[in-house]
Chains A and B, each alone.
Chain A
Amino acid sequence: MSDEPPRGSTSLPDSVDFPRLFDFYEIQSEDETRIHEFYANLDDGSLTTTECADCGELHFPPRVVCPECTSDDLSYASLPHTGTLHAFSVMRAGAPIGKVDDLPFVVGIVDLDGVDVRLSARIDDAEYDDLTIGDPVTLKVVDIEGPADLERVFYRFVPADADADVDA
């Protein structure tokens, strides 16, 4: 038998810090993303997106280069805060990081009123069984709470009659 080899140890930190991006929400500040204006507008209560100054194309998601004409002369245009449900479901299991505590939650596809923009969104204040395709919904802005060093916001939608229901 050969001699026992020397044995040591090495230690690792108990937790590992990943960039916050891995929680899905973009880091929204000017020093991280060139579409920070989209997030700043949302923080001010307005849903906007980019529009091309050269060809007039309205984009969603917002861009820094127009995919129609490759111009980079883009400006922010307001989007309507109302729309209708094109489709919806409820996530009951299999949630990714940061969303497990929210289960179950309703997700949907919203066609914004009067413009050719369709987006996915969480639908708050709604039960899956109460919803129907075509139901009207309105914008809601949520503050992303979490790490104190970042201010982040995102959009969701709620049924348009939600307030009415609460009052009734």
Chain B
Amino acid sequence: MTRNAAIVGGGHTDWGERDATWKDLAQEAGKATFDDVPDVGPPDVEGLFVGAVQPERFAFQSHVAPLVAELLGVEADSMIARTELACASGQAALRYAWLAIAAGQLDTALVIGVEKMNLPDGHDEEMQTSMSNVVDREFDGVNGLNAPTYFSFLGQRHMHEYGTTQEQLAKVAVKNKTHAANNPYAQFRMDIDVDDVLDSYPIAPPLHLFDCSGVTDGAAGLILMSEEKAREVTDEATYITGSGQSCMAGNSVNNVPSFSAWPQATVAAEQAYEQAGIDDPVKELDVAEIHDCFSISEIIEYEDLGWVEKGEGGQFIEDGRSELDGDIAVNPRGGLLGCGHPLGATGVSQALEVHKQFTGRVESARQVPDGPETGLIHNLSGSASVHSVMTLGRDPR
């Protein structure tokens, strides 16, 4: 009795260090989204789902979903909520919209992800404080664990256990930051090579500055509709074919399963693949937007999303298998490394990229060749304790 749901369009703001408030960004994303789908307007929206991680600390604003409804003139007379799942908040918002449509509760949903991370000059410490409370603040954040230090442990362990090299990490950064050069809304549009990454500041070794995503202001939006309604407004809809998530009851350093593997990603991916009927992801997926918050993350994801044997992730990038013309085009948008990572907006932006790749509406330099028809988005969150995976297709499953 579940119904198919489809992305019918979406929009994006410029990402970076923006001279704009949280509310400005939400409005920009809303306008860009409605502009993209002329047949759907704010009064048509029955459900509103807003991905936002720390508006309370970054913008001193709570209860943001009704604020967005007001700013965009959205009725939301069926369901309205903000989702917080750290770096996966945007995908969580999309997932709830999908579930609400699949369950027959509503036909048209607006998904908006917004984060305003850059604080006024001189307050970088406050911003980083809000990253260190995403891990267990009392026992891990307290020790100076924020994202770069936490993921440096994964880099070190993966290199130690599997022989992954600093150059392989750098290759991920080069790929994604140069993809971003073809993306007008990206924060880090760079023309760099492996040496540039290795020469950049070793901020938390083995991670150098260019191995990191950034501190980003930005927003993105999507309109999701039931299949029946979607067919009324477009013949180029993108269907959600599968969606999985796993946490495994761990969050602090003592209780996450590993510092070189993410079995949660494997569980989440297997759930999504099964729903989508995907048996061989490397053969069947054309494009993937996966969570490269740091270069090492993407390498571990190649493995734990089931694309290569454990320990072979470094070889996967080395062999060019994740390039635009590789086995799976990974992060053509530029990833978090290139686009930046306005936490709540990232998952929304990833899904929008896959939709635009399917419909051939990205800058030609980053278009995945041969008409991609199947895709995947992946986010990890916090201490990488949770992994979220969604599969997308031009055709409904």
Binding site for B on A (CB under 8 A): 22, 24-26, 60-61, 67, 86-97, 99-100, 102, 105, 107, 109, 117-122, 128, 133, 154
* Most chain B beta-carbon neighbours within 10 Å: one of A92, A93, A96, A154: A96
Residues of B contacting A22 with CB < 8 Å? 129
Residues of A contacting B202 with CB < 8 Å? 92
A119–B139 touching, CB < 8 Å: yes
A89–B143 touching, CB < 8 Å: no
Interface hit among B184-192, B252-260, B278-286: B252-260
Residues of B contacting A90 with CB < 8 Å? 204-205
Residues of B contacting A67 with CB < 8 Å? 249
Tell me whether B297 is interfacial, beta carbon within 8 Å.
no
A100–B125 touching, CB < 8 Å: yes
**Given contacts A24-B142, A107-B145, A109-B259, is CB(A118)–CB(B203) below 8 Å?**
no
A94–B124 touching, CB < 8 Å: yes
Of B125, B157, B205, the residue contacting A97 (CB under 8 A) is B125
Q: Shortest CB–CB separation between residue A66 and chain B, in angstroms?
A: 13
CA of A118 to CA of B156 in the docked complex: distance in angstroms? 16
Q: Find the B residue at minimum CB distance from A112.
A: B254
B128–A120 touching, CB < 8 Å: no
CA of A87 to CA of B254 in the docked complex: distance in angstroms? 13
Q: Find the B residue at minimum CB distance from A110.
A: B253
List 17 other contacts, CB 8 Å, given A107-B143, A133-B160: A24-B132, A60-B255, A86-B153, A86-B157, A86-B259, A89-B152, A91-B146, A92-B202, A95-B128, A95-B144, A96-B125, A96-B144, A99-B144, A109-B153, A109-B253, A119-B139, A120-B253
B138–A119 touching, CB < 8 Å: no
B156–A96 touching, CB < 8 Å: no
Q: 6 shortest A-B CB distances, which residue pairs?
A: A89-B152, A87-B153, A96-B129, A96-B128, A24-B142, A120-B253
Q: Find the A residue at minimum CB distance from B154.
A: A87
A61–B141 touching, CB < 8 Å: no
B253–A119 touching, CB < 8 Å: yes
Residues of A contacting B149 with CB < 8 Å? 89, 91, 107
**Given contacts A91-B149, A96-B125, A120-B253, is CB(A105)–CB(B144) below 8 Å?**
yes
Q: Find the B residue at minimum CB distance from A28.
A: B138
CA of A92 to CA of B131 in the docked complex: distance in angstroms? 16
Tell me whether B201 is interfacial, beta carbon within 8 Å.
yes
Q: Shortest CB–CB separation between residue B164 and chain A, in angstroms?
A: 14
A-B contact pairs, 26 of them (CB 8 A): A22-B129, A24-B141, A25-B142, A60-B139, A60-B255, A61-B136, A87-B152, A87-B156, A89-B149, A89-B153, A89-B156, A89-B204, A91-B146, A91-B148, A91-B204, A95-B144, A96-B129, A96-B132, A97-B128, A99-B144, A107-B143, A119-B254, A120-B143, A122-B144, A133-B156, A154-B142
Tell me whether B126 is interfacial, beta carbon within 8 Å.
yes
Tell me whether B356 is interfacial, beta carbon within 8 Å.
no
Residues of B contacting A60 with CB < 8 Å? 139, 252, 254-255
Residues of A contacting B153 with CB < 8 Å? 86-89, 109
CA of A93 to CA of B152 in the docked complex: distance in angstroms? 13
CB contacts under 8 Å to A, within B43-99, are: none
- Chain B, 222-257, contact with A by CB distance < 8 Å: what is the 0/1 string? 000000000000000000000000000100111100
Residues of B contacting A105 with CB < 8 Å? 144
B125–A89 touching, CB < 8 Å: no
**Given contacts A24-B137, A95-B128, A133-B156, is CB(A87)–CB(B259) below 8 Å?**
yes
Of A24, A26, A87, A94, the residue contacting B157 (CB under 8 A) is A87
Q: Shortest CB–CB separation between residue A84 and chain B, in angstroms?
A: 13
Tell me whether B140 is interfacial, beta carbon within 8 Å.
yes
- Chain B, 252-283, contact with A by CB distance < 8 Å: what is the 0/1 string? 11110001000000000000000000000000
